[in-house]
C-alpha cells in the first residue's frame, strides 16, 4: 500500500511551496543584479524574459519580450545562434558590434536552456572598453616599432655607407657621422620618454608631495629651453609671483613646465613669443604656457595628449619631437593630483593650462585676482 504521507516527485509538498517561491525570487534577484544582460527565449526563439541590464546594454527604448533576436538586434549571426540553441541544443559565442548613439562591442554566449526545458538563454557582456584597450596596446606597439625603425634605419644606412668607402671621403664622412650622432640622440630621447611613460603608468615612480616654489621651477625649466629659443629669436616671458608654492614632485613639475615650454618654442615660428604665467585659484595654482604660434585645429584637441598623437607628423619629427611629450605631461599632472587642458585655434596660438594643488602650509600663496 502506498504511504499517504509520501509525495509524488512532480508534486511539490504544500510545505515546500514557499521554498520554491523563495528559490525563484533569489534567482530573479541574482539575474536582475547582474551587470551582464540576460534573456530567455521560448523554443521558437521569442524572448520571454530578460533583466534590466540587457535593456541598458542594448540601449533599447522598446519592449524586448515578444520579439525574436533578429528583431531586437540587427544580426543574422545572433538569430542563427538562438535557432541553433533552440533546435540543435548547441551553444555558441559571438561578438556584436552595435552601432547607434552609443556604439558598443558586446560578447554574447547563447546556450540551450537544458534540463528538459525547451528554449534558449543568452548572456550579453559589454567588452567595449576591453577591445578599446587592446587596440590602444596594439597601436602603441606598432607606433613604438615605427618610431624606433626610423632612426635605426638611418644609423645603419649611414654606418654601412661609411664602412663601404665613404669613411675616406673627407667631404661626406663628417656629415654622415653628424647624422648618425643626431639620430642616436633621437633614439635615446625616445627610449628615455618611453621609460618615463612606462614608469608613470606602472606607478613605479614614487612622486613626492612637497611644497615647491613655482617661480624657481619655472626659472629652471626656462633656462633649459633658452638656447633653443634664442636661436630662433623667440622671447620667453615669465610672470610667476615668487610667493606661489604648489604641493607636488619637484622633478615632475619641472618636467611638465619643460615639456610645455619646449613645445611652445618648437612650434612657434621665428621671432615669436612664449608666456609662462601662474595664479592662485582657491585650492589650486594654475600655470599657463601660451604662445603666439600657429595654433591647433579643434579636431586635433581631444587627442593631443595621446601617446604618439601629432598634428603634423613630419614637422614634429623634423623638430626632434617624439610624440610623447604631452602624454608624459598628462600622466605627471594626473599623478600629482592636477589637471591639464589646452585651448587653441589656427592662427590664435596655443595655451596650455595646468592646475596643481596649492601647498597650504606655506605662508603667502595669496589668491590672485582674475
CB 75 within 8 A of CB 48: no
Helix (H) or strand (E) holding 242: none
Using CB under 6 A as the binding rule, whether residue 293 contacts ligand ADP is answered as yes
CB of 314 to ligand ADP, least distance (A): 10
CB 210 within 8 A of CB 248: yes
Figure out which of the listed residues 286, 312, 339, 343 binds ligand ADP, where binding follows CB under 6 A.
312
Figure out which of the listed residues 155, 246, 296, 340 binds ligand ADP, where binding follows CB under 6 A.
296
Using CB under 6 A as the binding rule, whether residue 214 contacts ligand ADP is answered as no
CB 84 within 8 A of CB 77: no
Round to whole Å and give the CA distance between 369 and 364: 14
Using CB under 6 A as the binding rule, whether residue 316 contacts ligand ADP is answered as yes
Query: How far, in whole angstroms, is CA 71 from its chain's centroid?
Result: 35
Binding mask 331-370 for ligand ADP (x = CB under 6 A): -------------------x--------------------
Strands 273-281, 235-239: pairing is: parallel
Round to whole Å and give the CA distance between 107 and 95: 4
Taking CB under 6 A as the binding criterion, the range among 105-113, 195-203, 229-237, 307-315 that sits at the site for ligand ADP is 307-315
Using CB under 6 A as the binding rule, whether residue 110 contacts ligand ADP is answered as no
Residues in the chain: 370
Query: How far, in whole angstroms, is CA 80 from its chain's centroid?
Result: 36
Using CB under 6 A as the binding rule, whether residue 323 contacts ligand ADP is answered as yes
Figure out which of the listed residues 280, 321, 336, 358 binds ligand ADP, where binding follows CB under 6 A.
321
By beta-carbon proximity to ligand ADP, the closer residue of 112 and 293 is 293
Using CB under 6 A as the binding rule, the residues of this chain from 245 to 284 that contact ligand ADP are: 263-264, 267
Cα torsion 188, 189, 194, 200: sign: positive
C-alpha cell at 28: 530573479
Figure out which of the listed residues 122, 176, 304, 359 binds ligand ADP, where binding follows CB under 6 A.
304
Using CB under 6 A as the binding rule, the residues of this chain from 158 to 197 that contact ligand ADP are: none
For the chain, helix (H) and strand (E) counts, in that order, are 10, 12
CB of 197 to ligand ADP, least distance (A): 11
C-alpha cell at 215: 617661480
Figure out which of the listed residues 311, 335, 341, 362 binds ligand ADP, where binding follows CB under 6 A.
311
Distances 161 to 73, 170, 178, 182, 193 between C-alpha atoms, Å:
61, 14, 14, 17, 30
Using CB under 6 A as the binding rule, whether residue 326 contacts ligand ADP is answered as yes
The number of residues that bind ligand ADP (CB under 6 A) is: 21
Residues that bind ligand ADP (CB under 6 A): 263-264, 267, 291, 293-294, 296, 304, 309-312, 316, 321-327, 350
Amino acid at each position: 500500500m502506498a504511504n499517504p504521507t509520501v509525495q509524488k516527485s512532480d508534486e511539490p509538498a504544500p510545505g515546500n511551496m514557499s521554498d520554491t517561491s523563495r528559490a525563484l525570487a533569489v534567482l530573479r534577484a541574482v539575474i536582475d543584479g547582474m551587470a551582464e544582460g540576460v534573456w530567455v527565449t521560448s523554443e521558437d526563439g521569442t524572448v520571454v524574459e530578460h533583466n534590466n541590464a540587457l535593456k541598458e546594454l542594448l540601449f533599447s527604448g522598446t519592449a524586448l519580450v515578444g520579439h525574436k533576436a533578429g528583431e531586437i538586434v540587427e544580426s543574422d549571426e545572433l538569430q542563427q545562434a538562438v535557432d541553433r540553441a533552440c533546435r540543435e541544443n548547441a551553444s555558441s559565442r559571438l561578438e556584436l558590434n552595435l552601432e547607434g548613439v552609443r556604439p558598443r562591442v558586446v560578447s554574447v554566449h547563447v546556450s540551450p536552456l537544458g534540463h528538459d526545458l525547451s528554449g534558449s538563454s543568452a548572456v550579453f557582456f559589454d567588452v567595449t572598453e576591453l577591445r578599446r584597450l587592446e587596440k590602444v596596446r596594439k597601436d602603441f606597439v606598432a607606433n613604438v616599432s615605427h618610431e624606433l625603425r626610423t632612426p635605426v634605419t638611418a644609423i645603419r644606412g649611414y654606418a654601412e655607407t661609411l664602412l663601404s668607402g665613404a669613411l675616406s671621403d673627407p667631404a661626406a664622412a663628417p656629415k654622415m657621422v653628424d647624422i648618425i650622432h643626431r639620430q642616436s640622440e633621437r633614439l635615446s630621447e625616445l627610449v628615455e620618454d618611453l621609460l618615463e611613460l612606462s614608469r608613470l603608468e606602472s606607478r613605479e615612480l614614487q612622486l613626492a608631495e612637497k611644497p615647491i616654489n613655482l617661480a624657481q621651477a619655472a626659472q629652471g625649466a626656462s633656462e633649459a629651453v633658452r638656447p633653443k629659443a634664442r636661436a630662433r629669436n623667440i622671447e620667453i616671458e615669465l610672470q610667476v609671483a615668487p610667493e606661489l608654492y604648489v604641493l607636488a614632485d619637484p622633478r615632475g613639475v619641472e618636467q611638465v613646465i619643460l615639456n610645455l615650454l619646449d613645445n611652445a618654442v618648437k612650434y612657434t615660428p621665428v621671432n615669436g613669443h612664449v608666456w609662462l604665467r601662474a595664479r592662485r585659484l582657491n585650492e589650486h595654482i594654475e600655470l599657463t604656457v601660451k604662445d603666439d604660434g600657429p595654433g591647433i585645429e579643434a579636431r586635433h584637441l581631444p587627442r593631443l595628449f595621446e601617446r604618439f598623437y601629432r598634428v603634423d607628423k613630419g614637422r614634429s619629427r623634423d623638430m626632434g619631437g617624439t610624440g610623447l611629450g604631452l602624454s608624459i605631461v598628462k600622466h605627471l599632472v594626473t599623478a600629482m593630483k592636477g589637471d591639464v587642458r589646452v585651448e587653441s585655434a589656427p592662427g590664435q596660438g596655443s595655451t596650455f593650462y595646468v592646475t596643481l594643488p596649492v601647498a597650504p602650509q606655506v605662508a603667502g600663496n595669496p589668491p590672485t585676482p582674475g
